[in-house]
Every structure is written in structure tokens, then in C-alpha cells.
Structure 1
Amino acid sequence: MKFNIILNKATTVEEIENYWTNQDYVNLLQLFNFPDANTIKPENLREMLFMAIADFEPNEAAEIVLAYKLSENLNEGQIAQISNDMLIDKVCEEYPEIDLHYHLYSVNQLLFKAYNGKFLNCKATVVDFSITSLDGFEDEITKEIVLKSFNNGISDRNVIKRLFSDQMNTEESFEQAEDILWELNKKDAHNFTFITSEYWLDKDELVASEFEGECQLTEDEEE
């Protein structure tokens, strides 16, 4: 399959809008022993949460937020280890289970802002693009299709191209695409945005504003 891809805009961000809901803030305030969290006006929830978090040691706060968000994925020992590692390493980029990177990133950035920099600052990349089939493809545009099709527009030094060369260039299934691209949002038939870690794709690694992308899928995936 071949696609024409136009890169409309690529930006670097320090948090993902709407990842944390007001209900998340209320729940976390309660976990940080803040009284009457349900009575706080929505526009003040985030600021009050930061105040509540600041009363705790950074690793203690990290453990609370990690347990709130990832207790179904990590055991107590893993959470305790990560809560300490986050103060010295970019865990959201280095953790071996890449399906957790999005959540670890959002936890990290919440704590980074609450503590005004005690945690390392990690960044994400938001790409706004259009994609148009050149050979009549009309099925759903998936994360796998997007990543494979972007191969020709990304610098060869990019970590995705180096780690997943076969998946990007052949029919081999690219299952990791689901976790590398944190979000793929459809605006209309041809216009999309995706969000990923700056670790996976720095905006400066996008080397073409318009290019032809080729995506090879297995026969099962194409059906």
C-alpha cells in the first residue's frame, strides 16, 4: 500500500491534555489526605493537588500516584522501585514494558510540575498530518499503518527505525506500534494526529514535509 503523507505540524509538549480527569484529581487528593476534596471547584483541583503532593517526600508521592494509576500492572515492589528510580532516570523512556510508557510519562510529568523540577522533565511529540491512499485503500488507518508509512519521512537515526527495521520495512507484523503511538486521533477521512514519546520520535527527526509512504502488511492484516 502506498500513501501520500503531508506533515502539517509537529510540536513538543510536556503533558498530554485531558490525560488526567477532574475525577482523577479528586481521587488523588483523597489519597494524599486532603479533606473535602469533593467540594473543591474543578478549576482549582490541579493546584490543590500540587499543594497536597508537596507535603510528601517525592518518592512517597510517586509511590501513591503510581499505585493509583498502575496497581493492576505493577506489584508493590515494582512500584516502590520505580518511585525511587523516577528521581534519577527517565523511567517512562527506559522501562522494558513499553505498554506502560504512556502512563509512566503522565505520572512523571504530574510529579515534575508538582515539585517544580525535582523529577526529570520528559517530553512528548504531537504530529498533525494528512494521509491519502495512492492505490485505493479504504479501510481503517491504524497505528501500524501510520508508523510504517512514516518510514520515508523519518531520519535514519531515529530509534524506531533502528530497533524495528524489519517491522518498518517488511510485511512483518508491527505489534509494538500500538504502544509506541500513544494516541491516534482521527479528525476526518484524511487528517489525523498522533502522540508519542519524544524518545521514540523527536520532531526534528521528521525530515520531510510531504512524502510517499509505503506500508507492507501481512495478508491477514490486509483482509
Structure 2
Amino acid sequence: MKYAIKIHKISTVDDLENSWSIDDYKELLVRFDFANNDVNEIKELRELLFMAISDRDASEAAAIVLDYKLSDVLNEGQIDSLSYEMLVDKISEEYPKIELHKTLFIINQLLYKAFNGKFPNTKATIVDFEITPARNAETNITKEIVLKCFAQNLDSHNVIKRLFADQLNAEEAFVEANDIIWYLEKKENNYRLTTSEYFMSKNEFINEEFEAVIDFFEEA
């Protein structure tokens, strides 16, 4: 299947909008023993939470936030280990379970900003683009389609090309695509993808406009 892609803008960000809600901040403030029922503005709640977080030991603060976001998938021992590892490693890029990368990024960046850089800084890539299917190509644009197309416009050092060659070549199912791309949003005829800079960095893109021919894995 063939697609034509035109990239409008590539942005590198260290935060994702709307990652944390008012309810999130209020619950975290309770867990940090810093609750304030009189505050309902998200900016003020965030400032209060940063104060509460920075009053704690860094690994202790990390464990509290990790427990809030990931206690349903990680046990106490895993959370404890991550709370220390996050201080020295980019866990949101290195953790073996790709499906947790987005949440770990959101947690990492909250802690990074609350502690004024004590945690490693990680970044995300946002790409605004158009994609046009050729005749007979699938018109329902999925994360797999987008990722396979974009991989053909990334230089040879790109980690997706190195780690997922069989999936890109349709020799294996590409189930990881749904977790590598965090968000795929459609806005009229345009799309926006959000992923980790680890998987796609701005300087890895080759052309602003390109065509890609892709295939899909089929069970024998």
C-alpha cells in the first residue's frame, strides 16, 4: 500500500498538555499530606504539589507518584526500584515494557520540574502532517500505518529501524506500534502524532515530503 506524506511541523517538548487533571493534583496532594480543599485552580494546585513534592526525599516522592499512576500494573518492589532508578536513568525510554513509556514520561517530567532538574530530562516529539492514501490503500489511518510510513523517512540510526526491522518489513505483527506512538489525533485532513524523542527525534527526519510503500503481516 502506498501513501504520500507531507510534514508541516516537528516539535520537541518536555511536557504534554493535559497530562494531569485537577483531580490528579488533588489526590496527589492528599498522598503527600498537603491537601488544600480551598484551591480549585489547576495552576495553583500544580504549584502546591511542586512544593509538597520538593519537601520530600526525591526517591520517596517518586515512589508516591509511581504508586498513584502505576500500582495496578507494578508491585511494591518494582515501584521501589524504579523510584531510585529514575534519579539516574531515563526510565521512560529504557523500561522494557513499552506500554508504560508514556506514563513514565509523564511522571518523570512532573518530578523533573518539581525538583528543578534533579531527575533526568526526557522529551517527546510531536509531528503535524498530512497523509494521503494512494488508490486501493487503506484509508483508515492507524498508528501502524503511520509508523511504517515514517520509518522510511528516518535515518539509519533510528531506534525503531534497529529494533523493529521484522515488524516494519511485515515479517511479524507490529503490535508495539500502538505504544510507540502515544497519541494519533486527526484534525480535518491533518494528523498529529506524539511519541518519545527516543523513538523519533527531530534531527532524524530526512524529508518534509515523501512517499512510502508498506505491507502488513499476514498469518500463514
- Specify if TM > 0.5: yes
**Aligned runs of 1:79-90 on 2, under 5 Å?**
79-90=79-90
Equivalent in the alignment of 1:170: 170
CA distance in 1, matches of 2:106, 2:37: 21
Q: Which residue of 2 aligns with 1:211?
A: 210
- Contact map agreement 1:26 1:38 (CA 8 A) in 2: no
Q: CA deviation at 1:156?
A: 1.2
For structure 2, the 5+ residue unaligned runs are none
| More moved, 197-206 vs 167-176 | 167-176
TM-score (norm 2): 0.95
Q: In 1, are the aligned partners of 2:125 and 2:194 still within 8 Å (CA)?
A: yes
* CA distance in structure 2 between the aligned counterparts of 1:38 and 1:200, rounded to whole angstroms: 42
- Say yes or no: does 1:78 pair with 2:82: no
The answer for the alignment partner of 1:133 in structure 2 is 133
Secondary structure at the aligned position of 1:5 is classed as: strand
Count of matched residue positions in the alignment of Structure 1 and Structure 2: 219
CA–CA distance in structure 2, aligned partners of residues 114 and 84 of structure 1: 16
Q: How far apart, in 1, do the equivalents of 2:15 and 2:197 lie?
A: 12
Q: Say if 1:26 and 1:38 are closer, same or farther in 2 by CA, change over 3 A.
A: farther
**Kept after mapping to 2: 8 A contact 1:30/1:37:** no
State the match for 1:193 in structure 2.
Answer: 192
- Distance (Å, rounded) in 1 between the aligned partners of 2:194 and 2:40: 31
Q: Which amino acid aligns with 1:203?
A: K
Off by >2 Å, runs of 4+ in structure 1 = 35-43, 136-139, 169-172
The answer to whether the 8 Å contact 1:154/1:205 transfers is: yes
Q: Residues of 1 paired with 2:150 and 2:105: CA distance?
A: 23
Query: In the alignment, which residue of structure 2 is the partner of 1:112?
Result: 112
Unaligned runs of at least 5 residues, structure 1: none
The question of whether the paired residues in 1 share the 8 Å contact of 2:66 and 2:83 is answered with yes
Match of 2:5 in 1: 5
Is the 1:181–1:195 contact (alpha carbons within 8 Å) kept by the matching residues of 2?
yes
Q: Counterpart of 2:67?
A: 67
Q: 1:34 is matched by which residue type in structure 2?
A: F
Tell which deviates more after alignment, 169-178 or 124-133: 169-178
Q: In the TM superposition, what is the alpha-carbon distance from 1:219 to its structure 2 partner?
A: 5.1
CA distance in 1 between partners of 2:186 and 2:86 (Å): 33
Instruction: Report the Cα distance in structure 1 between the residues aligned to 2:161 and 2:139, rounded to whole angstroms.
Output: 25
Distance 1:21 1:56 in 2: 22
Name the CA distance, whole Å, in 1 between partners of 2:218 and 2:88.
45
SS of residue in 1 equivalent to 2:207: coil
Q: What residue identity is the alignment partner of 2:200?
A: L
In structure 1, the residue matched to 2:154 is: 154
- With the length of structure 1 as denominator, give the TM-score of the two structures: 0.94
Distance 2:138 2:167 in 1: 22
Cα root mean square deviation, aligned: 1.4
SS in 1 for 2:191: strand
Structure 1 equivalent of residue 101 of structure 2: 101
